[in-house]
Amino acid sequence: MFYLAILILLLLCLNMLYTLCDIIPNYTHNFANYKLYLEIILQEARADSPTLQHCFFQLSALGMDPVILQGGFSAFHSLYPFLCTPRMVLLESERRSLTIYPSEILEGALYQGSASQAHDYRIIKNLHITHVVNATAEISDAFPSVLRYLRLRLSDDAQQDLRQALPEASRFIAEALRGAPGAPGGRVLVHCSLGRSRSSVLTLGFLMEHRRWSLLHAFRWLKERRACAAPNAGFLQQLSDYEELLFGHRLTSLDDIREKNYLCLV
């Protein structure tokens, strides 16, 4: 799908707003349905800036879905310099060559992604990954000499038993994030083949056990950060059972999750 991202710079020092009248018409007249193709990112150092808020609400009124880059571009660049470039990326061939990074589930701590990302050492290095949970049976550990691995050998099958894997993965992730006494905490990448089902169930199990979140709360959190996350129906049922084990009773109706289209129909 064609994708175009525009970074709208709010030049507040000049008290000018180059968005609604100048930028949007110049792009939307080229597209039959611009909502499918256009992402608007508003950035300014202060998220409560009146000009920024005005722009946000006017864009929303047009039926668009703007997002605010907290702290502005400089703050984003300081955290993720490897995701920034000084040049405009406009050609489809250039966009296809961009490196796609794992989803950040907990800031500076927990990431979820695919096998290809887990095998890309540049990604591992840039994210400062120290530990990896490999949920697959079919994909080897990429860098066992420099990273600590937990290999669970799960199949993406609704009948796969997760009773041992859920607490084992949660314990491994928690210990990695906590770090050794006197040492900084590590960073964990949880992956399966595509980063959709097996990795999601392990991430959710950790959030439920160590954040003490309900299944529904954990699902909402994960989906906001990784839209493609979707454990299969059997995994979802086992997560519900795990919720009952952790809290003594079920806090989440599976119908609430199904109604939100969170379920992978596998």
Active site residues: 192
Say which residue the tokens 């979140």 belong to: 213
Q: Give the number of C-alpha atoms closer than 13 A to the C-alpha of residue 160, restricted to the C-beta side.
A: 25
Per-residue b or e along 197-215, where b marks 16 or more CB atoms closer than 10 Å to that residue's CB: bbbbbbbbbbbbbeeebbb
Helix (H, G, I), strand (E, B) or coil at 7: strand
Q: With 0-12 CB in 10 A as exposed, 13-18 as middle and 19+ as buried, what is 237?
A: middle
- Answer whether 167's CB lies under 8 Å from 224's CB: no
Number of other CB atoms surrounding residue 91 within 10 Å: 9
* 94, two tokens: 């250039």
Enter the DSSP assignment of 107. Answer: T
CA distances from 124 to 32, 153, 168, 172 (A): 40, 21, 23, 18
Chain mean position to CA 103: 3
**Strand ranges, E, within 72-172:** 103-106, 110-113, 131-136, 148-154
Enter the DSSP assignment of 214. Answer: -
